[in-house]
């Protein structure tokens, strides 16, 4: 079972989660008379008929544990924080089951994220690449690797759903490493010499392990460090710039580039440029989307462009969906951009969209022809990462 989830979930965690899926009854304990009255009102006879075990009651599950948890949470509102729940498991004593009582909101969040466990078991993770283009030449700067989940119904779940689900399951760091592996494996499909922008949550780097494993995986798939950019997502939320800088020191020395992602503040950008020496700053779509008709957004973009120029850093605009917004980005000094207008994410790395090619033509720019991909080398013949002179120096922190 461990291998079926890529090593992300240990057997104990899997067993705990599976209890919720299989539960035919829940143990529910209100903490205080207000919570108990609210439960009685919400569940009616189901509550009054529940078998009593100390301060807990055994409540039968009519359909699924998730639906019952949602019903209780919606009915209780703020009082949900004062209710604790646990699934009944025939393999456990009632003593053990009740000993696993957890706050209702936390339990509901975990149960709501069980789809990610199914995705891991079914190997339903896949990667799409979105191109990033130089606005002055039309050249491809690189590709951002985007993790996806393909649901049994054929729908696609995006990172905005995937990573919060991992957080709710308590596997954020382990899943982060799995995402690195998935993207690095898929990066074999990139054109020769193309940069890979690999999303990394910087808030996970200061704990145990940090970037441990990323260097190992890069070398395993023989992806050169000089083609790798660590795309630090939501970097403005990082609490310790010093710790983050320490975690990034070795990969930076080995030629890995740093990109600051989701940037919205010029002041924070100055701090992080000074502390992290990034190669790129990526302006969040919160600023760029609609910038052509929003004077305050344009002012922020102008300030960020000035900071980037002063720091000799390339400014990349994210989330560009219209020619008008792209015009403003170019006028304000943005170096490169990505978004649906320029090229949509795809499993096979794509070239520029017809709309972006038309935009370039209107500026008198003829983009270079796409590089011809070399045939795959025999196993063991692909060029590997550049290695440090000291054989004991390692990317594995």
pLDDT for residue 6 = 54
Which bin fits 251, alpha (ψ -120 to 50), beta or left (φ > 0)? alpha
- Domain extents in the chain: 3-111, 118-362
Mean pLDDT per 10-residue segment, the chain (397 residues): 52 81 94 94 93 94 92 94 94 90 94 92 94 97 97 90 91 88 95 94 68 83 95 83 86 93 85 91 95 96 94 96 98 97 96 96 86 45 39 42
pLDDT for 347 equals: 96
Q: What CATH number belongs to 3-111?
A: 3.30.70
Q: Report CA torsion sign: 353, 179, 251, 230.
A: positive
Contact 130, 261 (CB under 8 A): no
Helix axis angle for 114-121 and 159-168, nearest 10°, is 110
Lookup result for tokens 């049994």? 152
Q: How far apart are CA 100 and CA 43, in angstroms?
A: 22
CA dihedral 269, 270, 276, 279 (to 10 degrees): 70
274's tokens: 């000074």
Predicted pLDDT of residue 227: 97
Q: What is the pLDDT of residue 7?
A: 61
The count of residues in the chain is 397
- Give the phi and the psi of residue 205 in degrees, each rounded to 5: -85, -20
The token pair at 72 is 């209780």
Please give the model's pTM, rounded to 2 decimal places.
0.84
Q: What is the pLDDT, as a whole number, of residue 141?
A: 96
Residue 19 tokens, joined:
């209890």
266, burial (CB in 10 Å: exposed 0-12, middle 13-18, buried 19+):
middle
* Fold for the domain defined by 118-362: TIM Barrel (3.20.20)
The packing angle between helices 65-76 and 33-43, to 10°, is 120
Examine domains 3-111 and 118-362 and report if their fold is the same.
no
Pairing of strands 140-150, 195-200: parallel
């Amino acid at each position: 079972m461990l291998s079926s989830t890529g090593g992300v979930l240990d057997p104990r965690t899997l067993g705990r989660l599976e209890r919720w899926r299989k539960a035919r009854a829940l143990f529910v304990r209100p903490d205080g008379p207000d919570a108990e009255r609210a439960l009685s009102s919400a569940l009616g006879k189901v509550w009054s008929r529940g078998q009593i075990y100390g301060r807990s009651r055994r409540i039968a599950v009519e359909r699924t544990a998730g639906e019952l948890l949602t019903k209780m949470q919606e009915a209780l509102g703020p009082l949900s924080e004062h209710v604790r729940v646990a699934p009944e498991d025939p393999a456990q004593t009632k003593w053990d089951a009740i000993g696993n009582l957890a706050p209702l909101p936390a339990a509901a969040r975990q149960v709501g994220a069980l789809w990610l466990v199914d995705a891991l078991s079914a190997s339903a993770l896949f990667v799409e690449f979105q191109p990033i283009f130089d606005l002055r030449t039309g050249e491809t700067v690189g590709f951002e690797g985007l993790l996806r989940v393909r649901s049994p119904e054929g729908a696609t779940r995006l990172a905005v759903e995937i990573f919060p689900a991992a957080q709710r399951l308590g596997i954020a760091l382990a899943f982060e490493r799995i995402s690195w592996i998935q993207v690095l494996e898929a990066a074999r499909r990139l054109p020769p010499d193309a940069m890979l922008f690999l999303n990394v949550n910087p808030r996970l780097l200061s704990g145990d392990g940090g970037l441990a494993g990323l260097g190992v995986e890069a070398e395993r798939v023989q992806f050169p460090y000089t083609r790798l950019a660590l795309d630090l997502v939501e970097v403005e939320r990082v609490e310790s710039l010093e710790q983050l800088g320490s975690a990034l020191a070795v990969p930076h020395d080995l030629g890995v580039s740093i990109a600051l992602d989701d940037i919205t503040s010029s002041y924070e950008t100055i701090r992080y440029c000074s502390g992290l020496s990034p190669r790129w700053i990526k302006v969040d779509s919160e600023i760029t989307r609609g910038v052509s008709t929003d004077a305050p957004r344009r002012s922020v973009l102008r300030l960020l462009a000035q900071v980037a120029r002063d720091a000799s850093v390339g400014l990349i605009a994210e989330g560009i969906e219209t020619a008008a917004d792209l015009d403003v980005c170019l006028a304000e000094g943005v170096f490169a951009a990505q978004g649906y207008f320029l090229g949509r994410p795809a499993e096979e790395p794509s070239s520029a969209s017809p709309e972006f090619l038309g935009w370039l033509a209107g500026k008198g720019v003829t983009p270079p022809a796409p590089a011809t991909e070399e045939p795959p080398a025999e196993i063991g013949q692909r060029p590997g990462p550049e290695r440090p002179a000291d054989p004991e120096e390692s990317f594995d922190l």
